[in-house]
Amino acid sequence: MADHQNREIASGRGLLPAKRSYNPTVDEAMSEAIKASRGNLKTRADYAYTARSFGQWLNENRPGASLWSEITTKSVRDFLGHCRTTCRSNDIIRKRLFVVKMTSRYMAETYGEYGYNDVARPVRFIREEDDPEEARRKEQAKILPLEMLFTLLDYLHERRPDLHAIACLQGLAGMRAMEAAHVREQDIDFEAGTVTVTATPHHKPKNRASFRTIPVASMPLNALRAAVSGLKVRHPLGYLFATARRDAPWTTSDYSHAMRREVDRCRQYAAARVGLTPAALDSLIGFQAHWLRATFVTHAREKKVDYRVLQRYIGHTATDVMGQFYEIVGSERFGNEVVSVIEQMCEHCREHVETQAL
């Protein structure tokens, strides 16, 4: 480590702490970088939580490195190696390294006159290639068969009505989980049959394309109508799905955990239904709530819904010039090409269930 520090100093990539008039600790530097980031409150909270892993690793492996000026490229590279051996997924590794690199870049850009360099810039995370068969299996696990999707929605309607409308908006309108969880009464137009996705005090849509007003099928619209009529106390901000534990909507983790329990219980509920194959039942094993959006998109594309229309409907940004600046997709086209397909899917499943019952 001493040899490495000497080489860093000699090459100009590092300076002794005494030469800096601003010398924050690692925690202070990361907190300042997170505060200056463009993320919303929730994103910054996630950054702060992720940043703890770097501080814990330093305490255990570099107990003498408490100041940001003592962080070197080798420190970051060693931390990445530690994450590769201990983390369960590539996404966790990427998030941990991102916060460190963000802090390093912030310190170099903001306090470069004090001798800070972007020490983390040379460190790159290259995802390990998954086994092709395993990757294909993981992709397929994100899609529920159509009959199982409606079985899950029926189960939630019967056992967890507080989650039913959110799941309907995900699985039958392609909304992100937190877009659906933060729907307010004023965002719903029952006469027009539309739902507006916009910024709320607790949630900001992911990008400009995510701000949208979309018509929805009768099943999610009826679920929203039931949620409104079932309110015993109106939320002061209009939220439909405020949790009992706090005067605010579901958080990502709370909703995911709640849905994970209900998906497990739904498998027992579905086993008693006639006509469901073992493969359909097995599709619920390990199924995650945010995959309902992938299920919606997959089934809509199988029904030949136009790619551009579906892209706009779910709030994705167009990546080509024509999509970004010229082609306008309105509510009428959403209704003709997306909602009509969803209504056909709902009708097909109702007929299938009635036939099996007979």
* Cα of 148 vs its chain's centroid, Å: 23
Structure confidence at residue 245 (pLDDT) = 64
Task: Average the pLDDT over each of 20-34, 271-285, 330-344 and give the range with the smallest value.
Answer: 271-285
Residue type, 154: D
Query: Quick one: which H or E segment has residue 197?
Result: strand 194-197
Instruction: State pLDDT tens for residues 262-307.
Output: 998 998 888 877 667 777 788 888 899 999 999 999 999 999 999 9
Structure confidence at residue 18 (pLDDT) = 44
Instruction: State pLDDT tens for residues 201-242.
Output: 888 898 889 999 999 999 999 999 999 998 888 888 899 998
Predicted structure pTM score: 0.74
Residue whose entry in the numeric block shows the structure tokens 């509510």: 331
Q: Which fold has domain 2-128?
A: DNA polymerase; domain 1 (1.10.150)
Q: 333: which residues sit within 8 A by CB, 6+ positions away?
A: 309
Query: How high is the mean pLDDT of the chain?
Result: 86
Q: Structural domain boundaries of the chain?
A: 2-128, 138-357
As a whole number of angstroms, the distance between CA 345 and CA 351 comes to: 10
Rounded to the nearest 10 degrees, what angle do helices 146-159 and 340-357 cross at?
Answer: 80
106 — pLDDT class (breaks 50, 70, 90): very high
- CATH number corresponding to 138-357: 1.10.443.10
